[in-house]
Amino acid sequence: MDAEFDRMELSNQEEMTFGEKLQGLRQKAGLSQDTLAEQLEVSRQAVSRWERDETMPEPEKIVALADLFAVTTDYLLRRTEQWETPQQPSRERRSGRDIMDRLGYLAKTRGYLLGWILVVWGILDLVVLLLMCLGMTGVVSAFW
């Protein structure tokens, strides 16, 4: 019974907090608190408080940290030492998804450009159609 209790106590000691994981990942990546803070657009003091487990970052910062260090948000948030890396989609699927993401982003942010392109294209088509019709009737051939 005592051996089982010791094993449970040892496993509890091996569990890492969010702050311990963050500090370890940051140091392994060779980043200072200042550099990490700049990348996340927060203060160095915020990073320090996170590492001391005084506060937790906002959810979008946790996602950014997971992306930055190539770990899952589950790894960061759960009290475990198991290093989990996210499954990387195949290069083909990732590049296809990236293209669709970029096109979607452009459509959302620059949709008006697409509208103008379609308007100009339509006008050019009408001009070509008009010239073809006039050419068939012989009106244009008098000028050429």
The C-alpha atoms of residue 80 and residue 61 are separated, in whole angstroms, by 20
pLDDT of residue 124: 94
Q: Give domain limits for the chain.
A: 2-77, 91-143
Q: What is the mean pLDDT of each run of 10 residues along the chain (144 residues)?
A: 43 71 93 92 93 92 91 83 52 61 72 77 91 72 58
pLDDT of residue 6: 42
pLDDT of residue 10: 38
The C-alpha atoms of residue 97 and residue 103 are separated, in whole angstroms, by 10
User: Which residues touch 141 (CB under 8 Å, ≥6 apart)?
Assistant: 135
pTM higher than 0.85 for the full model?
no
Picking from 22, 27, 25, 16, the residue whose alpha carbon sits closest to that of residue 78 is: 16
Contact status, residue 61 vs residue 40, Cβ threshold 8 Å: yes
Superfamily of domain 2-77: lambda repressor-like DNA-binding domains (1.10.260.40)
pLDDT of residue 97: 64
